[in-house]
Amino acid sequence: MCVVGESWHIPLAQSPVPALLCSALGSIRHAPLPHHLTHGVGSTTVVAFSAFLNGHYPPADLTGDVAVSYSSPTGIPRVAQCKFSLPLRLVCCPSSPSKNAKYKITVDTNKPPVNLSEVFPDFLEKSEDKEGNALAFHFLSGPRVTVLASKTSLFENIWLVAKELVQRFDRHFAKQGVKDFRNSFAGPIPLAEYFETVDHHFELRVSAEKYQDLLSERAIQFRAIQRRLLTRFKDKTPAPLQNLDTLMEGTYRQVRHTHTH
């Protein structure tokens, strides 16, 4: 569970209606607000919400938007908005660093290397590197990402950790008063790996559509056989089944087999 804090000083004449949007994670649920809110100076209302993954794949981003609509004491409708970032721990957990990886990128900086334990203090539970030179992240969807110069077994998982790494570097040097800190990427843009991922995603979409059509056809066939069997059972002098029961059982197995794909 995480707490996202954001404060607004709003003069209310009507109860606010919150709207939460987070494209990174599947959906967000929030507790309903009371119908009538009475606020004094400095009073606070807390709205609890939950975010969760919608599918077995890593999110592209961890940012979200909050919008609160309300009416001022003069009856004018207002909207207050802000952005927030969810913690990386919601989608991955600490893991042991791996020496083997299919993909890797290098993020160059104009400052000396930083101890990763200072940048990621919330991911030190399983770190075997006491010097802070290696850190690993295990995504809930399965893949692992190791931060040395960021390497991983799945190309698409590098982005989230690389973005978090750069953001934490920025905050780390900002706290030290460093104003000229820069990040850079000197290597070639890995377009081949990117297009490979896009092609694989397209193949999965085509395959899913094919199985959806096949499932619809077999479901129609199953219902047609079912209707014919019911008609024969209702007849006072039913005709022979002519293997309709066997055909129905075989179609049912095909429907289940197609559904598992």
Neighbours of 41 (CB within 10 A): 5
Q: Are strands 103-104 and 151-152 parallel, antiparallel or unpaired?
A: antiparallel
pTM comes to 0.47
Structure tokens at 71: 């009416």
Residue 247 has what pLDDT? Answer: 86
Residue 82 has what pLDDT? Answer: 81
Structure tokens at 15: 């109860």
Range 204-225 average pLDDT: 90
Paired with 65 in beta bridges are 21, 83
Q: Is the separation of the CB atoms in 138 and 93 below 8 Å?
A: yes
Residue 206 has what pLDDT? Answer: 93
Chain segment 71-121, per-residue pLDDT in tens: 777 778 888 888 888 888 878 887 777 777 667 767 777 766 677 777 778
| DSSP assigned state of 54 | S
Per DSSP, helices labelled H in 20-115 are none
Chain segment 123-166, per-residue pLDDT in tens: 776 555 555 567 777 877 777 777 764 445 556 667 777 787 78
What is the crossing angle of helices 244-260 and 191-234, to 10°?
160
**CA separation for the pair 218, 249 (Å, rounded):** 12
CA 48 to chain centroid:
19
**CA separation for the pair 157, 56 (Å, rounded):** 13
Range 153-180 average pLDDT: 77
Residue 16 has what pLDDT? Answer: 52
Chain segment 24-66, per-residue pLDDT in tens: 455 455 555 554 555 555 567 777 777 777 666 777 777 777 7
Q: Which is more confidently placed, 15 or 257?
A: 257
**CA separation for the pair 97, 27 (Å, rounded):** 31
